Chain A
Amino acid sequence: MTTRAVEAWTLQPLVKFTKEAEARLVLVMTSAGQVMAQHGFSRAVEVMSAAALGAAIIASTAAMAKELKQPPFAALTHQGERHGIFLAGFGTARGMLVVLVVYDLEVSSVGLVQLFFEQLVADLQAACPKEGVPKQVLAADFERELSDSLNTLFGR
């Protein structure tokens, strides 16, 4: 399975995490759903859907937490028949990032994913450039930016 990153500093921590947690699919994205790195996806359309859904889930649960006057939920997990999903956000110098992990229950567990996720967060926070906060993506640029990112993520 291939791991690719739009922003180079995310690659090494992600490669390490996927190996340790034995994750099947991983997405690192901004809270707006802009993908920074991916592992295991074979099609751009899947990345786009997963990123949109992941960002939406994080946004809705953050809103729910706000309604409850609680801090945002640290992580969301769901265990299916064969696969588990882990979704969590964390802060970096570049703002909040969201990580979506899909793992195979035969080879990994939510415990292992959580354990190595803590390391991933520390590695990404350490590797994150302190300067050069990404510019706001304007609607007009959005399609081009998205297309560029997807090309990078699939090595085209």
Chain B
Amino acid sequence: MADEIKTLSAELARDPQSLVFLRLADLLRQRGQLDAAHRVALNGLERHPHLADAHDLYARILADKRDYERAFDEWDMARRIAPGHMGALKGLAFLYFKVGDVAQAVAHLEEAERVAPDDFTIQQALAMVRGQPMGSAAARPAGHAAALRPDAPPSPPVPEEPMAPPAGPLEDRRVFAGLEGAQEGLLLLDAAGRVLGGALRDWNGADVTEAVAAYLAGVSLEAGRTAKLLGFGAWTGLAAEGQLGHVHLAQPGPDALLLVVRDRSVPMGRLAIIAQRAAMAARRWLEQQA
């Protein structure tokens, strides 16, 4: 690889307009020489601003440097130049998956699949993403996101780890010991929407813990902003009546969020009492963890 880098560097020095910068920057990136790769890619991009591959390469380098915002812009640009650009579609899917937007990740991978129906790596990535509940990427090990990376080498399918959300029975016992519905209708989250304890199932018995958790962080932020801007002070609870069930959201601590879900037979007032008890249990548990 070192020899190839030397050769390509010499070639690029001879002809700065040459497209060998693509190969050279990628080799440097693969060797972990990210600053050098960055320089080469940027110089190349300045000379070839309408080359989708150059934007794709630059995005990969930025992603390796964990500059995801700019990587997004570059992949977005590559896609605008070449709408079916495989690297850009996979790159955008990778970034969406990383932030927990599974729907967008799937949409981009499906588009990539339409462009290259025989690409096994896309099918593998799609299978993996579809197997995840929405919003679960942040809680997953980095390896899962890595499998989605646009430059991920083809590999045999890896069996998905068992679907064991952090809200397993052990945590249920610890956080909500003795409380009604601890394993199916109580959920404790941190401020970022990560599950600390409890679990949620929908009426068909499906585990919806992580999907709900992903949305609740946004609800909580909006509730806080609304209360503040309307002069309500701090918000103390958000109760909602649904067509099939009731929910109550509370803040047992400054960085925690508690959700209680029950069917419509449980009156809202009783739900508030259940939530109050669960909040006390959660508060105790959070204090023990501190």
Contact = CB atoms under 8 A, between A and B. Distances in A.
A42 interface: yes
A42 B73 CA distance: 6
B64 interface: no
Contacts of B69: 1-2
Nearest to B225: A20
Nearest to B76: A42
Nearest to B70: A2
Contacts of B113: none
Size category of the binding interface on chain A: under 10
Interface residues of B, number: 8
A42 B67 CA distance: 14
Interface string A39-76: 00011000000000000000000000000000000000
A43 B70 contact: no
Majority SS at the chain A contact face: loop
A83 to B, nearest CB: 14
Interface in B198-221: none
Contacts of A20: 225
B26 interface: no
A64 B280 CA distance: 62
A2 B77 CA distance: 15
Contacts of B225: 20
A42 B76 CA distance: 9
Nearest to A115: B229
B62 to A, nearest CB: 12
A5 B225 CA distance: 27
B53 interface: no
B74 interface: yes
Given A2-B69, A20-B225, 6 more contacts: A1-B72, A1-B73, A2-B70, A42-B73, A42-B77, A43-B77
11 contacts: A1-B69, A1-B72, A1-B73, A2-B69, A2-B70, A20-B225, A42-B73, A42-B74, A42-B76, A42-B77, A43-B77
